[in-house]
């Protein structure tokens, strides 16, 4: 066999085998990149589910606080009734404790509406009212609403939507578009190389796929980090909610105990009830979030 | 765009009439060109991946640092508030039980002062301060 023919056949066979080998490694690279994407995506989806559960926990805690505050408002109404019967002049209450007459009226009005809302618990619309009662200044908003039902149906639902929007911030918004788009882009790129026959082109495509996967994985890393930062913020909201719930519960209990033992005839008893009631009212007016569902800015305090 | 048929015809004519080594040389040159082209793409993609990773690392580090500040800030704030509130509630219970109005006043004032001070709002102000380049944290 002539030498040039042997050389030609050798080069041809060698490059054929090298081409086959490189094609296999190129396809393997693409599959590995795809597997990396899918693995990261499933981790990201799990992180997103955890973030949503976290959000639900905060919402439930706000509802619990709302219920506690509404019950405390009812006790506040009883205190207003007690103070109305007491043998203390309105002027004295105002001078000694800075409680004007209209405050007593406000407590009584708020108490009636709180009973209305509490009476509707179990109906779906009331969950919005409970969330709102937990998040905002309570007595004032109860007093300004025409009925308790209005709070439950309108104010409550709107407030709940705003709160939920804030509580959910940083999850879908942070990673959403890019991550979702990533799947489609990745699909196209993976389908393309399948029809290529030249190993170098397959490797070039593999490099592109690896870059797109890198981009998507990076976006998910960033979005997950943002979710965790938001979760830390939600933890802080939860701590604040627990603090308010515990304070409200204890002050309400103190006021209830006082109302049981106090006599409207005894001036000192009356002032004690008035003091605890006034401070409970102040605690009920402490807001957790503003109207847009964000933590209230310092100037609004 | 050049007519793709012409090169095929030229290749077919030239390669068929050429000796064996030359018949191999032309596709080999194509393979070398593809190899060079691939090397360029591979290098560019490698650089791009490194850039994406570096950008991600910076962003994630910044977010994690922010999260750590949130966690530490609120953990400390709420811990000290909880301690103070517990102390005031003990005083309040004592004030009611012993009918000590002075103790009652101190306890109620302390409780309401703490509760009215919203650490979430404080943190918003703290965060705005932290965003300023001249911000210095005194520890």
In chain B, DSSP assigns E strands to none
Size of interface A-B (CB pairs under 8 A): 160
Sign of the alpha-carbon dihedral angle for B56, B58, B59, B60: positive
pLDDT score at B54: 96
Which of B67, B72, B129 should we substitute to test contact with A (largest number of A Cβ atoms within 10 Å)?
Answer: B67
B-chain CB neighbours of A236 within 8 Å are: 70, 74, 78, 119-120, 123
pLDDT score at A260: 92
pLDDT score at A256: 95
Q: What is the DSSP letter of A88?
A: -
Q: Which residue has the higher pLDDT, B42 or A287?
A: B42
Residue A262 has pLDDT above 60, yes or no: yes
Q: Which two tokens stand for residue A65?
A: 């606080």
User: For A301, which of B21, B104, B118 is closest by C-beta distance?
Assistant: B118
A-chain CB neighbours of B119 within 8 Å are: 236, 240
User: Mean pLDDT throughout A243-264?
Assistant: 93
pLDDT digits (tens, 9 = 90+) for A139-187: 555 555 444 444 444 454 455 555 555 555 433 333 433 333 334 333 3
What ipTM, to 2 d.p.? 0.73
Instruction: State residue A121 phi and psi, 5-degree precision.
Output: -60, 135
Whose tokens are 């807001």? That residue is: A287
Whether B78 sits inside 8 A of A257 (CB atoms) is no
B-chain CB neighbours of A232 within 8 Å are: 67, 70-71, 74
Report chain A's mean pLDDT, rounded to a whole number. 74
Angle at A74 between CA A70 and CA A79, to 5 degrees: 140
Residues 127-146 of chain A whose Cβ lies under 8 A from any Cβ of chain B:
none
Asked if B41 has any chain A CB less than 8 Å from its own CB, the reply is yes
The reported pTM is 0.74
What value does the CA radius of gyration of chain A take, rounded to a whole number of Å? 33
Asked if B49 has any chain A CB less than 8 Å from its own CB, the reply is yes
pLDDT digits (tens, 9 = 90+) for A74-121: 999 999 899 888 877 766 766 777 777 788 888 888 888 888 878 766
Residue A59 has pLDDT above 60, yes or no: yes
């Amino acid at each position: 066999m002539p030498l040039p023919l042997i050389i030609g056949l050798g080069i041809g066979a060698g490059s054929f085998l090298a081409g086959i080998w490189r094609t296999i490694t190129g396809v393997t690279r693409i599959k590995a990149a795809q597997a990396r994407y899918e693995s990261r995506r499933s981790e990201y989806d799990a992180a997103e589910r955890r973030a949503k559960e976290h959000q639900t926990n905060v919402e439930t805690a706000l509802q619990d606080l709302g219920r506690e505050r509404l019950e405390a408002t009812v006790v506040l109404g009883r205190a207003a009734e007690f103070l109305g019967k007491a043998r203390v002049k309105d002027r004295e209450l105002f001078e000694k404790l800075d409680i004007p007459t209209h405050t007593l009226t406000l407590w009584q009005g708020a108490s009636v509406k709180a009973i209305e809302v509490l009476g509707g618990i179990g109906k779906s619309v009331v969950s919005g009212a409970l969330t709102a009662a937990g998040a905002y200044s309570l007595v004032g908003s109860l007093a300004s609403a025409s009925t308790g039902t209005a709070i439950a149906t309108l104010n409550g639902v709107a407030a709940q939507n705003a709160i939920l929007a804030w509580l959910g911030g940083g999850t879908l918004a942070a990673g959403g578009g890019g991550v979702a788009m990533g799947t489609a882009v990745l699909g196209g790129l993976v389908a393309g190389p399948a029809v290529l026959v030249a190993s170098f082109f397959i490797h070039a495509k593999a490099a592109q796929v690896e870059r797109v996967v890198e981009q998507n994985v990076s976006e998910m890393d960033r979005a997950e980090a943002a979710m965790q930062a938001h979760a830390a913020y939600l933890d802080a909201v939860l701590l604040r909610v627990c603090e308010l719930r515990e304070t409200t519960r204890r002050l309400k209990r103190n006021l209830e105990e006082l109302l049981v033992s106090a006599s409207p005839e005894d001036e000192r008893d009356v002032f004690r009830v008035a003091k605890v009631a006034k401070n409970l009212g102040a605690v009920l007016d402490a807001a957790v979030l503003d109207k847009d569902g964000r933590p209230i800015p310092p100037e609004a305090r | 765009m050049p007519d793709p048929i012409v090169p095929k015809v030229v290749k077919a004519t030239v390669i068929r009439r050429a000796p064996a080594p030359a018949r191999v040389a032309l596709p080999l040159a194509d393979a070398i060109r593809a190899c060079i082209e691939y090397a360029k793409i591979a290098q560019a993609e490698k650089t791009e991946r490194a850039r994406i990773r570096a950008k991600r690392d910076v962003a994630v580090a910044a977010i994690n640092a922010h999260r750590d500040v949130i966690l530490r800030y609120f953990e400390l704030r709420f811990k000290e508030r909880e301690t103070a509130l517990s102390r005031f509630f003990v005083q309040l219970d004592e004030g009611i039980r012993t009918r000590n109005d002075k103790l009652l006043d101190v306890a109620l004032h302390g409780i309401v002062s703490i509760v009215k001070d919203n650490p979430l709002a404080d943190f918003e102000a703290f965060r705005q301060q932290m965003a300023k380049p001249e911000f210095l944290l005194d520890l």
